[in-house]
Amino acid sequence: MSIPKLKKIENVKKYHGIELMDEYSWVDQSNILDVLKDGNKILPEVKEYIDKNNNLCNDFFSNIKNFQDELFKEIKGKIKLDDTSLKFKDKKYFYWTKTDVNSNYSKKIRQLIDKSKDPEVYFDGDVEKKKYGSKYFGVGAISVSHCDKILAYSLDLQGSEYYTIYLRNLENNEKISDEIKNTNGSITWSLDSKSFFYVKLDKFHRARSIFKHEIGKKSSEDQLIFEEKDDTFTCNISLSADEKFFIISTSDHITTEEYFFPSDQKNILPKLFRKREQNIRYSIDSWKGYFYIHTNHNAKDNKIQRCKINNLETLEDYIPAKKETVIGDVEFLDDYIIRSEKSDAIQKIFIRNIKDNKEEQIKISKESIGVPGAAMMQKDPNTTKIRLSWESMATPSKIYEYDIVTKEKKLVKELEIPSGHDPEKYVVERLKAKSHDGRMIPITLIRKKDFKRDGNSKIVLYSYGAYKHSLTPSFSASRFILIDRGIVFALAHVRGGGDLGDVWHEEAKKKQKKNTFEDYIACADFLIKNKYTHKGGFCFYGGSAGGLTGGAVINMRPDLFFSALLLVPFVDTLTTMLNEKLPLTPAEWELWGNPIKDKDFFKYIESYSPYNNIKSVNYPNMLITTSLFDNRVLYSEPIKYIARLRDRKKDKNIQLLKCKTEAAGHGGMSGRDNAIRELAEEFSFILKTSNILK
pLDDT digits (tens, 9 = 90+) for 399-450: 999 999 999 999 999 999 999 999 999 999 999 999 999 999 999 999 999 9
Specify the pTM.
0.92
Render the burial of 319-347: b for 16+ CB within 10 Å, e for the rest.
bebeeebbbbebbbbeebbbbbbbeebbb
- The residue type found at 274 is R
Single residue among 401, 416, 431 that ends a domain in this structure: 416
171 with 127, same domain? yes
Beta strands in 114-191 (DSSP E): 120-124, 138-144, 150-156, 163-169, 174-183, 188-189
Model pLDDT, residue 30: 87
Residue positions counted in the chain:
694
Cα 217 to its chain centre, rounded Å, is: 35
Instruction: In whole angstroms, give the CA distance from residue 332 to residue 105.
Output: 32
Cβ-proximal residues to 584 (8 Å cutoff; 6+ apart), any chain: 632
- β-bridge mates for residue 342, sequence order: 326, 347
Q: Decide: helix, strand or coil at residue 360.
A: strand
Alpha-helix residue ranges (DSSP H) falling in 123-271 = 125-132
What whole-number percentage of the chain has pLDDT above 70? 98
Whether the Cβ atoms of residue 136 and residue 160 lie closer than 8 Å to each other: no
Instruction: In whole angstroms, give the CA distance from residue 285 to residue 303.
Output: 14
- pLDDT per position as a tens digit, 365-400: 999 999 999 999 999 999 999 999 999 999 999 999
Is 60 exceeded by the pLDDT of residue 694?
no
494 with 592, same domain? yes
Q: Decide: helix, strand or coil at residue 656.
A: strand
- The residue type found at 546 is G
The pLDDT confidence band at residue 1, using thresholds 50, 70 and 90, is low
CATH number at residue 43: 3.40.50.1820
- Averaged pLDDT of the chain: 94
Model pLDDT, residue 669: 62
Is 70 exceeded by the pLDDT of residue 534?
yes
Model pLDDT, residue 203: 87
> 296-300: long-range contacts at Cβ-Cβ below 8 A with a sequence spacing of 24 or more?
296/502, 299/327, 300/501, 300/502, 300/503
The pLDDT confidence band at residue 660, using thresholds 50, 70 and 90, is confident
The pLDDT confidence band at residue 344, using thresholds 50, 70 and 90, is confident
The pLDDT confidence band at residue 664, using thresholds 50, 70 and 90, is low
Model pLDDT, residue 670: 65
- β-bridge mates for residue 548, sequence order: none
Flag whether 2 is in a domain: no
353 with 495, same domain? no
Model pLDDT, residue 621: 98
Flag whether 6 is in a domain: no
What range does the domain containing 392 cover? 323-416
Whether the Cβ atoms of residue 451 and residue 488 lie closer than 8 Å to each other: yes
Instruction: In whole angstroms, give the CA distance from residue 193 to residue 150.
Output: 8
Report the C-alpha dihedral over residues 643, 622, 65, 3, rounded to 10 degrees. 30
557 with 683, same domain? yes
Flag whether 434 is in a domain: yes
- The residue type found at 560 is L
Nearest to 13 by CA among 613, 522, 574: 574
Is 70 exceeded by the pLDDT of residue 666?
no
Averaged over 296-306, what is the pLDDT? 95
Averaged over 242-254, what is the pLDDT? 95
Q: Decide: helix, strand or coil at residue 652.
A: coil
Averaged over 576-586, what is the pLDDT? 89
Single residue among 267, 295, 322 that ends a domain in this structure: 322
The pLDDT confidence band at residue 492, using thresholds 50, 70 and 90, is very high
Is 90 exceeded by the pLDDT of residue 587?
no
412 with 328, same domain? yes
451 with 335, same domain? no
Flag whether 4 is in a domain: no
Helix (H) or strand (E) holding 665: none
Give the count of beta carbons closer than 10 Å to the beta carbon of residue 2: 8
Model pLDDT, residue 83: 94
436 with 569, same domain? yes
308 with 429, same domain? no
β-sheet with 398-403: strand ranges across: 371-376, 385-391, 398-403, 409-414
Flag whether 640 is in a domain: yes
Flag whether 428 is in a domain: yes
- β-bridge mates for residue 100, sequence order: none
Instruction: In whole angstroms, give the CA distance from residue 1 to residue 10.
Output: 28
301 with 359, same domain? no
Single residue among 416, 438, 457 that ends a domain in this structure: 416
- β-bridge mates for residue 213, sequence order: 196
Cβ-proximal residues to 470 (8 Å cutoff; 6+ apart), any chain: 342, 345, 493, 497, 498, 499
Instruction: In whole angstroms, give the CA distance from residue 34 to residue 42.
Output: 9
Nearest to 498 by CA among 280, 339, 345: 345
Averaged over 449-457, what is the pLDDT? 95
End-to-end CA distance of the chain: 25
Model pLDDT, residue 584: 82
In the chain, the number of structural domains is 3
- pLDDT per position as a tens digit, 62-81: 999 999 999 999 999 999 99
259 with 189, same domain? yes
Is 70 exceeded by the pLDDT of residue 693?
no
Model pLDDT, residue 667: 62
332 with 360, same domain? yes
Burial class (CB in 10 A: 0-12, 13-18, 19+), 473: buried
Model pLDDT, residue 612: 98
Characterise 450 by phi-psi region: left (phi > 0), alpha (psi -120 to 50), beta (else).
alpha
Is 90 exceeded by the pLDDT of residue 517?
yes
Model pLDDT, residue 631: 76
Longest dimension (CA), the chain: 76
Flag whether 136 is in a domain: yes
Q: Are strands 303-308 and 316-319 parallel, antiparallel or unpaired?
A: antiparallel
303 with 449, same domain? no
- The residue type found at 661 is T
Is 90 exceeded by the pLDDT of residue 630?
no
Instruction: In whole angstroms, give the CA distance from residue 558 to residue 547.
Output: 15
Cβ-proximal residues to 146 (8 Å cutoff; 6+ apart), any chain: 189, 190, 191, 192, 193
CATH number at residue 137: 2.130.10.120
Whether the Cβ atoms of residue 3 and residue 643 lie closer than 8 Å to each other: no
Nearest to 471 by CA among 500, 506, 437, 446: 500
Model pLDDT, residue 668: 59
Flag whether 372 is in a domain: yes
Instruction: In whole angstroms, give the CA distance from residue 103 to residue 99.
Output: 6
